[in-house]
Structure 1
């Protein structure tokens, strides 16, 4: 008999620690980003940082960034004004638990 294994991504991400550099965001979007490009990031960001409300308003928060570079690879030349790794001691600290 094969036992089904399930993984709750939210629980796994909750063990990680984030040191957020409030004074120096490592990801900055352009003013008025292209909706189609933004939709790519809604679908592909593993941390779910890019969101659209039912009214159509977009939001983004770099604080929970996993530093994977997905947004940079998909849309770096279109809607990202800045993407860089956080300064030393800042950003995500992965913890396995």
Structure 2
């Protein structure tokens, strides 16, 4: 049985997105000073974080897998993260 690559498996998930209520916010000042921003772009399995040309970190919260890795690894105060409100967020379809 072939499982496929990570991208194809993630594409099977579905998401209920609360566009007006992000569950992730980056404190750009602290993230830049601590190197957290660059680290987030490397550790997130869903590639939710992206470093922009001006050095800020953008967040595509709708793609979040809600694993909490970013919150555990981020420098204190650099990231506000919580689970999305009830019935919102990722719905895993495979594995």
TM-score by length of 1: 0.80
Structure-1 separation of matches of 2:36 and 2:15: 26
Q: Which has the larger radius of gyration?
A: 1
Normalised by the length of structure 2, the TM-score is 0.81
**Per the alignment, in what secondary structure is the counterpart of residue 12 of structure 1?**
helix
Structure 1 residue 31: Cα displacement: 3.7
**Alignment partners' CA distance in 2, 1:45 and 1:33:** 18
Kindly report the root-mean-square deviation, in angstroms, between the aligned alpha carbons of the 2 structures: 2.1
Preserved contact between residue 50 and residue 59 of structure 1 (Cα < 8 Å):
yes
- Structure 2 gaps, min length 5: none
Count of paired positions: 91
| Over 4 Å off, 4+ runs | none
Match of 2:6 among 5, 9, 12: 9
- The answer for unaligned runs of 5 or more in structure 1 is none
- Give the aligned partner of residue 89 of structure 1: 87
Q: Distance in 1 between matches of 2:30 and 2:85?
A: 25
The 5 Å alignment of 1:9-88 reads 9-35=6-32, 36-53=35-52, 55-57=53-55, 58-75=57-74, 77-80=76-79, 82-88=80-86
CA shift, 1:7, in A, is 3.5
